Amino acid sequence: MRTDKTRVRVLLAALAALALTLGIAACGGGSDTTGSETSSEEGGSGAAIQSNPENGKVNLTIGSKNFPEQEILGEIYAQALTAAGYKVKSALNLGSETVALKAVKTGQISGYPEYASTALTSFFGLEPEEVPSDATEAWEKANEEFEKEGLEAFEPTPFASANAVGTTKETAEKYGLKTVSDLEGVSEELSLYGSPECRQRIDCLAGLEKLYGLKFKSFTPVDIGLRYTVLEKGQANLSILFTTDPQLSAESDKFVILEDDKKVFPAGNVIFVTAQKVAEEAGPDYEKTILQVQEGLDLKVVQELDARVELEKETPKQAATAYLESAGYIGS
């Protein structure tokens, strides 16, 4: 008897939860509009995203590769598209670019953010020195190739991410290092650390050797998560970093990057890669919303977002919401 009663109670609770969820989903469109009105009063840089009830019929799945910066970008796009009225799911752990591209092609995801440089070198076989340094040119070149495969890439973000040779401020001052070319003559005394794949990559050690003609005392492969640790512990004189790393702004008194004066590390602005069919079915708000929310993503903002997740241990979801709210794209 007692068990029966418990069962009924559980069932009722489940039903109530279901009803509540449906109710919230049903009035989702309405509350969004009110939300966006308040946010535009806050004076954010972006106009609030308008929810369009038409979009409620469209299901989207936004993907990303599995490291913090990508997950934040994925969340930003997913939350913005939700605000525009779409039904959005996310798949933010897609491993390498090969996996992510395959997921777009097979329709498992609607789209994901990719670096234009990675697309050009990894998917379309360009040499790093062939990657246009101009963001628009790189995007157009990538888009041409994507279109041949029934895909398309939206316009690039303001920020670009690239590999960089980094060191401690102390080392830079000791050897008078400002650019990568300054390493000539001293690199034989310096040890370089980088991810295991760096040794062979032309946009990493292979390029430093071939295009700058540098020889290092040693190259040691380490897990990518250790790129600052090895500098801090004094094991590495030089370490391969990323230009969007939050440590570069948060600890700018400790770490510096050397200017890539011979352009060995192609900078990648982010382009959102999607299938043409998906873009057609989703209507004009799909591209419009994505382009709108990425307008505020300059290097400083992205470093700060990366810092929230990598240093302050916020979730990518929290960081994305904070960005969208402070820029006024969605209401808080």
> Site residues (CB under 8 A) for another protein?
96-98, 102, 121-122, 125, 127-129, 193, 196-197, 200-203, 206-207, 210, 220-223, 225-226, 229-230, 233, 235
Whose Cβ is closer to another protein: residue 63's or residue 128's? 128
Q: Provide the minimum distance between the beta carbon of 97 and another protein in the complex, in angstroms, as a whole number.
A: 8
Rounded CA gap, 7 and 162, in Å? 57
Given the structure tokens 């352009």, which residue do they identify? 263
- Collect all residues with Cβ–Cβ distance below 8 Å to 307 and sequence separation of at least 6: 246, 249, 250
Q: Provide the minimum distance between the beta carbon of 35 and another protein in the complex, in angstroms, as a whole number.
A: 42
- Collect all residues with Cβ–Cβ distance below 8 Å to 111 and sequence separation of at least 6: 60, 62, 63, 77, 104, 272, 273, 274, 275, 278
Whose Cβ is closer to another protein: residue 19's or residue 311's? 311
Q: Provide the minimum distance between the beta carbon of 209 and another protein in the complex, in angstroms, as a whole number.
A: 10
Whose Cβ is closer to another protein: residue 34's or residue 106's? 106
Q: Provide the minimum distance between the beta carbon of 163 and another protein in the complex, in angstroms, as a whole number.
A: 12
- Retrieve residue 31's tokens: 């509350």
Given the structure tokens 């777009």, which residue do they identify? 104
Q: Provide the minimum distance between the beta carbon of 193 and another protein in the complex, in angstroms, as a whole number.
A: 8
Q: Provide the minimum distance between the beta carbon of 233 and another protein in the complex, in angstroms, as a whole number.
A: 6
Phi-psi region of 5 (alpha: psi -120 to 50; beta: other; left: phi over 0): alpha
Whose Cβ is closer to another protein: residue 54's or residue 127's? 127
Asked whether 39 and 325 are in contact (CB, 8 A), the reply is yes
Whose Cβ is closer to another protein: residue 141's or residue 201's? 201
| Rg for the chain, CA atoms, rounded | 23
User: 240: which strand partners?
Assistant: 165
Whose Cβ is closer to another protein: residue 201's or residue 317's? 201
Rounded CA gap, 225 and 311, in Å? 12
Q: Is 227 exposed, middle or buried (0-12, 13-18, 19+ CB in 10 A)?
A: buried
Asked whether 99 and 108 are in contact (CB, 8 A), the reply is no
Q: Provide the minimum distance between the beta carbon of 39 and another protein in the complex, in angstroms, as a whole number.
A: 41
Whose Cβ is closer to another protein: residue 30's or residue 234's? 234
115: phi then psi, degrees, rounded to nearest 5 = -80, 130
Q: Provide the minimum distance between the beta carbon of 190 and another protein in the complex, in angstroms, as a whole number.
A: 16
Whose Cβ is closer to another protein: residue 31's or residue 98's? 98
Q: Provide the minimum distance between the beta carbon of 284 and another protein in the complex, in angstroms, as a whole number.
A: 34
DSSP 265: S
- Retrieve residue 28's tokens: 């989702």
Q: Dihedral (C-alpha) 26, 27, 32, 37: value to the nearest 10 degrees?
A: 160
Whose Cβ is closer to another protein: residue 136's or residue 218's? 218
Rounded CA gap, 137 and 120, in Å? 11
